[in-house]
Amino acid sequence: MSDAEFRQTAWKMQVPEGRVLTHGTRISIQSLPVDKRTPTMSVYRNQQGVFSPTMTSNEGPSFWRILKTSKSPVDGDPIQDGEVVRLSWRFKDQTDGFRDFFDDAFGRRRYTKPGDVDDTLYLKVPFPRFEKTSSNGMALVMSPAATTSPIIETIKVLPTANEAAGGEVSMKYNLHDLSFRLDAIANRPSGAASDYMVAGIDQTNSASIRLGAHNIQVGDTVSIWQLEPVLSAPVKFIAETCLNVVG
């Protein structure tokens, strides 16, 4: 299956406990592409010791926590439509471990937290990006920094051909927190994007219309908007993804 086909997907957000999404709810996220394979969103550690999100075909679950980005959120606070959320990944939540390629070319699955790593990791966007600027994709990293403000972190990277003789190379990256907007939509893959009321409107730059508060519940279909982080260069990656929230 091509990368383009994998991008044509709906996402299933599984909620193992409870029937309403709240701050701190444990979730599992799976992709439902056209060929019926269901890769799961997980985390792995690369050869340089950097944790990153990944899609894996492993059958075991990988659990994330959905978090409100409002000031002073409390565990159990309901997440309403139109709210901005972020994702974290905790070692203590995992029942199926993670793939670890650090000092292991095969990347054997590990079930214990490395001693030098914090228990909770957060999705971040690195700048400068790892890919060429002409690439449509953007690699993400996991960071122990709980702050939603930009931070500077030193990350080990692969050396260039000229640097190879010197061993490991480290670079400073500006990491920006990655957040998403949740909107309740009709139960169909295209969501509200094909509604006649918004025909011809570029929805990536338009304001949303809210018709009252609605707690996101099991059985809802929601739209996730990946918000554009504030970077020091014009980088724009906004995508709409449909999520079915199931129990």
Confidence of residue 232 (pLDDT cuts 50, 70, 90): very low
The set of residues, in sequence order, having a beta carbon less than 8 Å from that of 116 and lying 6+ positions away, is: none
The label of the residue with tokens 């920094």 reads: 145
59 secondary structure, DSSP code: S
93 or 21: which leads in pLDDT: 93
Whether the predicted model's global pTM rises above the 0.85 cut: no
Q: Would you state the pLDDT for residue 193? A: 63
* The pLDDT of residue 75: 86
pLDDT (tens digit per residue) in 126-147: 988 877 777 767 789 999 999 9
DSSP letter at 77 equals: P
Residue 76 has pLDDT above 80, yes or no: yes
Q: How far apart are CA 230 and CA 105, in angstroms?
A: 36
Q: Which of 11-20, 30-39, 196-205 has the highest mean pLDDT?
A: 11-20
Burial of 13 (0-12, 13-18, 19+ CB in 10 A): buried
In the prediction, which pLDDT does 240 show?
38
pLDDT of residue 21 exceeding 60, the answer is yes
CB within 8 Å of 82: residues ≥ 6 apart: 181, 182, 183, 208, 210
pLDDT of residue 228: 40
Q: What confidence tens digit (pLDDT) does each residue in 213-223 have?
A: 456 565 555 55
Strands 98-100 and 40-45: parallel
Q: Which of 149, 13, 124, 125 lies closest to 71 in space, CA to CA?
A: 149
pLDDT-above-70 percentage for the chain: 64
Convert 49-83 to b/e letters by CB count within 10 Å (16 or more is b): bbbbbbebeeeebbbbbbbbbeeebeeeebbbbbb
Rounded CA-CA distance 151/176 in Å is 7
Q: How far apart are CA 247 and CA 113, in angstroms?
A: 28
